């Protein structure tokens, strides 16, 4: 029995690996069709007006018709009609039951762990994760919430994941391909070890997006997305999302967005819907450009290593070919002369812009050791392959010859 003060606390979501996965009604439509149609029908979804484009409902509150009837949505902190269209579209693209948006991808990650784990529990992940994710795992959760985050020693080996999972593990978290070193983790193999210990697997699908990789088809239970990256593609908005079982999404909504806030704004959700219409086309172009750029860099004498799973010499090239449609627009490479070498090359760029994000239509670059992953210890950076001379590059949709020409003139300054 709950006492009266706690009437609002839901029974927590309990992971059941044997529960049948419900099939979404739009599951038969092709991916490119769902990127345009899922979650909104221009005639069926509207009671009071017709519109070809989903409406932006920029309202904080939703009036009651009668005293007795609580409307849904009721208040903008919980859900809004525009965000609901986006949530249904993202759930459809990822092949999940439901979706919940958040103010950013980092917020979505926080909401997930905060909802699933209690003091004394743990989360298992690897060092192949984005910088803010690492900061949450290494400091915020252990120090503020007493939730330990364990980093597996050898993420290539499923046994290494298995060794860290115990009865207190509430989540296994894989980022693949990872930012910034494009490490590829075997989703199906890690799902198997996680499920054998009755633990849900979350895959961060930010770098590939559902256009190139569908973690849920490979056994993932939850998908994390930063909408700020390829999904929106223009560095014009911040947003994040989780896709997963409806009960869990409602649990997270109830424990975080409903009471705490930090939601994605309807305007940004609406913009994302417009950007998603071109996601499959954009991801194809990013991938072909990145492949050409990676092949060029791989031949350049001033480049020590290229991290891009489209190169046959990438350690997980075969796995990436199996679990991804193509290899995406994010890559990184190590230049000669460490930090100084990276500074020389990056200061030499004329077309490529130095900026902290990825997934943009224009090519940009960034130096992870001093910017996003500066809080890792030197040993952790070494284990994650974040060398001093590492440059992360998000390959845009320009003519690839122009990107390569800019790289060539900058690399020749070394
Ligand atoms: C792989 C990955 N996931 C999630 C995030 C968090 O996204 P946001 O910037 O929207 O908080 C990032 C950000 O860099 C990322 O690289």
Q: Which residues of 143-160 are buried (b: 16+ CB within 10 A; e: fewer)?
A: eebebbbbbbeebbebeb
Looking at the structure, tell me whether residues 142 and 28 fall in a common domain: yes
**Do residues 284 and 239 both lie within one domain?**
no
In this structure, which residue's CA is closest to atom 15 in ligand 1? Answer: 130
Residue ranges in 49-104 assigned as alpha helix (H)? 81-94
CATH code for the domain in which residue 41 is found: 3.40.640.10
Give yes or no: residues 232 and 348 share one domain: no
Cα of first residue to Cα of last residue in the chain, in angstroms, is 70
Q: Note the pLDDT of residue 1.
A: 42
Ordered strands of the 364-366 beta sheet: 303-307, 330-335, 390-394, 364-366, 353-354
- Residues 264 and 344 both lie in one domain: no
Ligand 1 center to residue 355 CA distance, Å? Answer: 14
Report pLDDT digits (tens) over 326-355: 999 999 999 999 999 999 999 999 999 999
Burial grade of 128 (CB within 10 A; 0-12, 13-18, 19 or more): buried
Measuring CA to CA, how many Å separate 310 from each of 141, 182, 201, 261? 35, 10, 25, 40
**179 shares a domain with 32:** yes
Cα of 105 to ligand 1 centre, how many Å? 5
**What is the C-alpha separation between 7 and 326, in angstroms, rounded?**
48
CB of 125 sitting under 6 A from ligand 1: no
Looking at residue 390, its pLDDT comes to: 98
The finding on whether 111 has its CB within 6 A of some atom of ligand 1 is no
Q: Which atom of ligand 1 is nearest to the CA of 240?
A: 10
164: containing domain: 4-276
Query: Considering 276, 291, 308, which residue would you say is the last residue of a domain?
Result: 276
Q: Residue 40 has what pLDDT?
A: 87
CA of 65 to the centre of ligand 1 (A): 40
Residue 47: the pLDDT is 63
Q: Are residues 100 and 13 in the same domain?
A: yes
Question: Mean pLDDT, to the nearest integer, of 285-306?
Answer: 98
Higher pLDDT, 190 or 42: 190
258/119 same-domain check: yes
CA 413 to centroid of ligand 1, rounded, Å:
32
Which residue did the predictor score with more confidence, 71 or 88?
88
* Residue closest to 288 by CA, chosen among 239, 253, 328: 328
350-401 per-position pLDDT tens digit: 999 999 999 999 999 999 999 999 999 999 999 999 999 999 999 999 999 9
One DSSP character per residue, 287-309 reads: HHHHHHHHHHHHH-TTEEEEE-T
**Residue 8: band (very low, low, confident or very high) from pLDDT cuts 50, 70, 90:** low
Of 256, 276, 296, which one is at a domain's C-terminal end?
276
Q: What's the confidence (pLDDT) of residue 3? A: 53
What pLDDT, on the 0 to 100 scale, is given for residue 24?
83
Q: Pull the structure tokens for residue 409.
A: 């003139």
Contact 142, 116 (CB under 8 A): no
Q: Is 240 in the pocket of ligand 1 (CB under 6 A)?
A: yes
Ligand 1 pocket mutation pick from 212, 228, 328 by most atoms within 8 angstroms of CB: 228
Name the strand (E) or helix (H) holding 170.
strand 169-175
Q: Which of 226, 261, 276 is the last residue before a domain boundary?
A: 276
Q: What percent of the chain has pLDDT over 70?
A: 97
Measure the CA–CA gap between 48 and 222, rounded to whole angstroms.
35
Number of domains in the chain: 2
Instruction: Verify whether ligand 1 is closer than 6 Å to residue 226 (CB atom).
Output: yes
Query: Any idea which of 41-50, 217-226, 273-282, 321-330 has the lowest mean pLDDT?
Result: 41-50
Measuring CA to CA, how many Å separate 6 from each of 10, 11, 114, 149, 259? 9, 11, 18, 29, 14
Beta bridge partners of 392: 332, 366
Among 35-44, 58-67, 114-123, where is mean pLDDT lowest? 35-44
Q: 21 pLDDT band (50/70/90 cuts)? A: confident
Whether pLDDT at 255 is above 50: yes
For residues 183 and 264, membership in a common domain is answered with: yes
Question: How far does the centroid of ligand 1 lie from the alpha carbon of residue 178, in Å?
Answer: 11
Position in ligand 1 atom list of the atom nearest CA 107 = 11
Question: Are 48 and 173 in a shared domain?
Answer: yes
Return d(Cα 24, Cα 332) in angstroms, integer. Answer: 37
DSSP 238-278: --EEEEE-HHHHHHHIIIIIHHH--PPPHHHHHHHHHHHTT
Tens digits of residue pLDDT in 186-215: 999 999 999 999 999 999 999 999 999 999
- Which of 136, 229, 332, 373 most suits a substitution to test ligand 1, by most atoms within 8 Å of the C-beta? 229
For the cut 80, the answer to whether the pLDDT of residue 5 exceeds it is no
Give yes or no: residues 218 and 297 share one domain. no
Distance 79 CA to ligand 1 centre (A): 22
pLDDT exceeds 70 at position 94: yes
Instruction: Please indicate whether residue 7 or residue 194 has the higher confidence score (pLDDT).
Output: 194
User: Taking Cα atoms as reference points, which of 188, 145, 149 lies closest to residue 168?
Assistant: 149
What's the CATH code of the domain at 328?
A: 3.90.1150.10
Ligand 1 center–CA 106 separation, angstroms: 6
Ligand 1 centroid distance, CA of 6 (Å): 34
**Which residue has the CA at smallest separation from atom 8 of ligand 1?**
105
Query: For residue 46, what pLDDT is reported?
Result: 64
Query: CB of 179 closer than 6 A to ligand 1?
Result: yes
pLDDT of residue 123: 98
Q: How confident is the model at residue 311 (pLDDT cuts 50, 70, 90)?
A: very high
- Rounded-to-integer distance, Cα 52 and Cα 154, Å: 50
Query: Does one domain contain both 254 and 361?
Result: no
Contact 271, 287 (CB under 8 A): no
**8 vs 341, more confident:** 341
- Tracing tokens 């409902």 back to the chain, one arrives at 57
Q: Which of 131, 179, 185, 357 to mutate to test the pocket of ligand 1 (most atoms within 8 A of CB)?
A: 179
Q: Please state which of the ranges 81-95, 196-210, 248-262, 285-299 shows the lowest mean pLDDT.
A: 248-262
- Beta bridge partners, 151, equal 125
304 and 219 fall within a common domain: no
Euclidean distance between CA atoms 127 and 148, whole angstroms: 14
């Amino acid at each position: 029995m709950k006492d009266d003060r706690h009437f609002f606390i839901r029974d927590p979501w309990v992971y059941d690996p044997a529960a049948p996965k419900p099939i979404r009604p739009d599951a038969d439509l092709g991916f490119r069709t769902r990127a345009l149609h899922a979650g909104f029908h221009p005639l069926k979804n509207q009671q009071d007006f017709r519109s070809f484009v989903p409406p932006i409902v920029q309202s904080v509150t939703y009036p009651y018709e009668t005293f007795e009837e609580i409307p849904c949505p009721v208040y903008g902190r919980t859900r809004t009609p525009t965000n609901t269209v986006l949530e249904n579209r993202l759930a459809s693209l990822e092949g999940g039951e439901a979706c919940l948006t958040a103010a950013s991808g980092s917020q979505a990650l926080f909401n997930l762990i905060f909802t699933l784990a209690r003091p004394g529990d743990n989360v298992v992940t690897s060092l192949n994760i984005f910088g803010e994710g690492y900061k949450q795992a290494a400091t915020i959760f252990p120090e503020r919430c007493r939730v330990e985050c364990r980093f597996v020693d050898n993420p290539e080996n499923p046994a290494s994941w298995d060794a860290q999972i115990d009865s207190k593990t509430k989540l296994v978290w894989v980022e693949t391909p990872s930012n910034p070193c494009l490490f590829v983790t075997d989703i199906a193999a890690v799902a198997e070890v996680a499920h054998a210990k009755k633990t849900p697997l979350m895959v961060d699908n930010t770098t590939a997006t559902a256009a190139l990789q569908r973690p849920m088809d490979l056994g993932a239970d939850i998908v994390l997305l930063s909408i700020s990256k390829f999904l929106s593609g223009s560095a014009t908005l911040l947003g994040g999302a989780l896709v997963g079982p409806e009960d869990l999404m409602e649990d997270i909504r109830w424990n975080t967005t409903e009471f705490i806030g930090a939601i994605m704004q309807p305007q940004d959700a609406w913009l994302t819907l417009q950007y998603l219409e071109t996601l499959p086309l954009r991801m194809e172009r990013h991938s072909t450009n990145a492949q050409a750029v990676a092949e060029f860099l791989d031949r350049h004498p001033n480049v020590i290593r290229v991290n891009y799973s489209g190169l046959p010499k990438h350690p997980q090239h075969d796995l990436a070919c199996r679990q991804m449609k193509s290899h995406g627009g994010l890559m990184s490479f190590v230049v000669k002369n460490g930090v100084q070498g990276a500074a020389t090359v990056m200061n030499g760029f004329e077309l490529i812009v130095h900026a902290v994000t990825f997934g943009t239509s224009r090519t940009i670059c960034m130096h992870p050791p001093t910017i996003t992953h500066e809080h890792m210890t030197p040993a952790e950076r070494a284990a994650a392959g974040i060398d001093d001379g590492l440059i992360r590059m998000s390959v845009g949709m320009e003519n690839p010859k122009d990107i390569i020409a800019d790289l060539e003139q900058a690399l020749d300054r070394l």
